[in-house]
């Protein structure tokens, strides 16, 4: 029966990869883009989960266990996890499917996520886990506290989520059409709300299948990832369960989806990015172990049970993401460093790159850990335009009011952050040509252009896992 986990995981991996579905981005957009649009997709998952799990429980198909609430562990763990996913560049499930896209930075984050979670659950850090979780309240779920049926919470949540989704969809419909990639429908990403519905349905199906295999739980990433590490180290076959099959299937499904759509390419990070991946992955494992789950186990499953653990953890994960975004998600600042016209950023790694014929700009400022080539790829031919703000120094003049911005190697949200920064320096009618290889940017950049009234004059794939978009300022 545990092989059903492999099948469910494969389907989940395809949906996550094609929907660019990552809770990190959903929480991050609240702080960076000042929008709750993508967060509604998470509410859709929770709502579908809540209705489905309530129905299965009422019918006696499943019997969920409800954890007692350990406030200190959940608050601190959730916050650390939020910080970690900013450093790692993706949440738990996001790190798995981005690893399947060839992001070596995500491989590193995933490794240290697995090791730190295993250490917290069965290894050297067990005393820390026991100490932090030693104080527990009698609280389990919000419905139990008020003596009400879970339906009194699931139905209002679903109605509220439906109204929010309708609001944002209507807002989208009123905006100029968002540019899409040319090519087959299969290569176009799923709408994030469609992906949310599918993830919710998969989560409902997962629970009885998992329970039938002896694991009374639904979707989960942290414990299965830790169990995979434990098995790898000591060969304990008892660690291999339905959840381990789920995460392995997730990787396999996401890999085949990325390969089939030309979105797979091995991309190697620089030392700074790798270091952040180690830190981020470690914080993810520690935080998720303390909080009792990650953005899937807590943010999707426990929230749908209306447990105190799930909702408090999600709130503090969001706060951690907000702090992390404030600290690290900023545009690079190009500065003139010598008379030769060579540029670098104030937070560069100290590598001084020059070109015999052209100026060189390295945009390595705040690239996150799953960057896939030395931070931002080197953009040659960069020139300083004294009549414009310093942001334009990042772009290479193509003449006739056109500029090229090379963000190859930069992961989301940095292609969008840098594009916005340079665009602010251009005049109406001028055009910015952006090269990028972050899959999430295939949706975020054209959406930003439409919302800001800019015109996308060209948008096409440029080899495997590479794209170019041209945006004329409105």
Which residues have a Cβ under 8 Å from the Cβ of 271 and sit 6 or more positions away?
349
DSSP tally for the chain: helices H, then strands E:
17, 9
Residues in the chain: 474
* ∠ CA 156-158-164, rounded to 5°: 100
Average pLDDT in the 161-190 region?
A: 87
Please state the domain extents for the chain: 3-328, 334-365+374-472
* Confidence check: pLDDT of 293 > 90: yes
Is the peptide bond preceding residue 413 cis, with omega within 30 degrees of 0? yes
User: Please, what sign has the CA dihedral across residues 246, 102, 408, 366?
Assistant: positive
CB 198 within 8 A of CB 17: no
DSSP class of 344? E
Pairwise pLDDT comparison (408 vs 48), residue with the higher score:
48
DSSP class of 190? P
Question: Of the candidates 8, 12, 14, which has an alpha carbon nearest to the alpha carbon of residue 254?
Answer: 14
Q: Which long-range contacts (CB under 8 A, 24 or more apart) does 349-352 make?
A: 349/270, 349/271, 349/272, 349/374, 349/375
The pLDDT score that the predictor gives to residue 273 is 81
Of 88-102, 360-374, 426-440, minimum mean pLDDT range: 360-374
Instruction: Kindly report the pTM of this predicted structure.
Output: 0.86
* Confidence check: pLDDT of 135 > 70: yes
Place of tokens 């060579």: 342
Which pLDDT band, with edges at 50, 70 and 90, does 448 fall under?
Answer: very high
CB 201 within 8 A of CB 48: yes
The pLDDT score that the predictor gives to residue 131 is 97
The pLDDT score that the predictor gives to residue 411 is 78
Place of tokens 């015109």: 455
The pLDDT score that the predictor gives to residue 236 is 87
The pLDDT score that the predictor gives to residue 250 is 98
The pLDDT score that the predictor gives to residue 343 is 27
Residue 344 backbone dihedrals phi, psi, to 5 degrees: -150, 170
Which pLDDT band, with edges at 50, 70 and 90, does 183 fall under?
Answer: low
Place of tokens 């180690």: 278
Average pLDDT in the 33-60 region?
A: 97
Distance CA 309, CA 292 (A): 8
Average pLDDT in the 84-113 region?
A: 96
Architecture of the domain defined by 334-365+374-472: 2-Layer Sandwich (3.30)
User: Cα(first)–Cα(last) distance of the chain, in Å?
Assistant: 57
User: For the residues of 390-413, what is the DSSP string, one character each?
Assistant: GGGGGSEEEETTEEEEE-TTPPTT
Q: Which of 22, 91, 294, 412 is catalytic?
A: 412
Question: Of the candidates 150, 161, 152, which has an alpha carbon nearest to the alpha carbon of residue 45?
Answer: 161
Which residues have a Cβ under 8 Å from the Cβ of 20 and sit 6 or more positions away?
189, 192, 195, 439, 440, 442, 443
Question: Of the candidates 54, 35, 299, 49, which has an alpha carbon nearest to the alpha carbon of residue 164?
Answer: 35
Q: How far is CA 126 from CA 78, 80, 129, 330, 365, in A?
A: 18, 17, 5, 36, 37
Which residues have a Cβ under 8 Å from the Cβ of 368 and sit 6 or more positions away?
86, 87, 88, 89, 105, 273, 276, 328, 329, 411, 414
Question: Of the candidates 145, 147, 139, 146, which has an alpha carbon nearest to the alpha carbon of residue 68?
Answer: 139
Which pLDDT band, with edges at 50, 70 and 90, does 363 fall under?
Answer: very low
Does residue 304 sit in helix, strand or coil? helix
* ∠ CA 29-31-33, rounded to 5°: 50
DSSP class of 187? G
* Residue 91 among the catalytic residues: no
């Amino acid at each position: 029966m545990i092989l059903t986990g492999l099948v469910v995981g494969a389907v989940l991996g395809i949906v996550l990869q094609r929907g660019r579905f990552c809770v990190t981005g959903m929480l991050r957009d609240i702080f960076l883009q000042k929008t709750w649009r993508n967060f509604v997709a998470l509410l859709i998952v929770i709502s579908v989960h809540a209705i489905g799990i309530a129905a299965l429980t009422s019918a006696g198909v499943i019997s969920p266990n409800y954890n007692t609430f350990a406030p200190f562990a959940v608050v601190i763990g959730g916050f650390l996890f939020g910080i970690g996913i900013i450093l790692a560049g993706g949440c738990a499930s996001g790190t798995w499917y981005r690893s399947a896209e060839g992001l070596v930075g995500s491989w590193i984050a995933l490794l240290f996520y697995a090791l730190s979670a295993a250490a917290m659950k069965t290894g050297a850090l067990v005393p820390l886990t026991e100490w932090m979780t030693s104080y527990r309240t009698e609280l389990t779920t919000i419905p139990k506290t008020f003596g009400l049926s879970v339906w009194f919470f699931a139905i209002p949540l679903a109605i509220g989520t439906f109204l929010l989704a309708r609001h944002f969809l209507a807002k989208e419909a009123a905006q100029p059409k968002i540019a899409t990639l040319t090519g087959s429908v299969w290569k176009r990403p799923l709408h994030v709300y469609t992906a949310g519905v599918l993830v919710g349905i998969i989560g409902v199906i997962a629970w009885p299948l998992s329970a039938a295999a002896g694991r009374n739980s639904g979707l989960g990433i942290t414990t299965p990832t830790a169990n995979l590490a434990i098995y790898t180290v000591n060969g304990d076959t008892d660690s291999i369960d339905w959840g381990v099959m789920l995460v392995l299937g997730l990787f396999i499904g996401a890999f085949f989806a990325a390969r089939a759509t030309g979105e797979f390419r091995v991309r190697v990070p620089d030392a700074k990015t790798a270091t952040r991946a180690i830190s981020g992955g470690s914080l993810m494992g520690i935080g998720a172990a303390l909080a009792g789950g990650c953005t899937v186990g807590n943010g999707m499953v426990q929230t749908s049970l209306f447990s105190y653990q799930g909702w408090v953890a999600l709130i503090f994960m969001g706060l951690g993401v907000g702090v992390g975004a404030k600290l690290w998600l900023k545009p690079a600042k190009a500065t003139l460093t010598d008379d030769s016209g060579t540029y670098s950023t104030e937070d560069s790694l100290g590598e001084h790159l020059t070109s015999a014929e052209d100026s060189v700009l390295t945009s390595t400022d705040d690239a996150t850990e799953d960057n896939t080539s030395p931070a931002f790829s080197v953009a040659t031919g960069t020139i300083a335009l004294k009549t414009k703000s310093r942001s334009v120094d990042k772009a290479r003049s193509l003449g006739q009011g056109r500029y090229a911005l090379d963000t190859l190697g930069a992961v989301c949200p940095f292609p969008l952050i840098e594009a916005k920064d340079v665009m602010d320096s251009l005049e109406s009618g001028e055009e910015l040509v952006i090269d990028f290889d972050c899959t999430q940017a295939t949706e975020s950049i054209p959406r930003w252009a439409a919302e800001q009234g800019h015109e996308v004059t060209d948008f096409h794939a440029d080899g495997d896992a590479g794209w170019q978009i041209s945006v004329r300022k409105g």
